[in-house]
Amino acid sequence: MKQHTIKESYNFSGKGLHTGVISNIIILPATEDYGICFQRVDIGDKAIIRALASNVTDVSYSTTLCENGASVSTVEHIMSALFGLGIDNALIQIDNIEVPI
């Protein structure tokens, strides 16, 4: 099956629905078989969280992903948008705990 990424990076900022914090997002193209990954740049380059069902740790008000001690919440909206666009591979850099909507 053919995989897709974005042509060039895209950035935006916004307020988190549940925390009210401002987060800055950069979506970067990624290579084939990379998948969708979040990188918490505020806590270090190694803070990569793969968007896998096995990394879901909470779904009470939003979907939270956690891997190796790093977490990111309210990922369902950006994941839905990427799915709707047919994007299979992307690195999403975020500088806070919650994805803005």
Contacts of 97 (CB under 8 A, 6+ apart): 16, 19, 21, 23, 40, 71, 72, 73
Domains of the chain: 10-94 (3.30.230.20)
Provide the whole-model pTM.
0.94
Amino acid at 7: K
What does the pLDDT profile of the chain (101 residues) look like in tens digits?
899 999 999 999 999 999 999 999 999 999 999 999 999 999 977 799 999 999 999 999 999 999 999 999 999 999 999 999 999 999 999 999 999 98
Q: How far apart are CA 4 and CA 40, in angstroms?
A: 23
Q: Which residues lie across from 29 on neighbouring strands?
A: 90
Counting beta carbons within 10 angstroms of the beta carbon of residue 46, is it exposed (0 to 12), middle (13 to 18) or buried (19 or more)? exposed
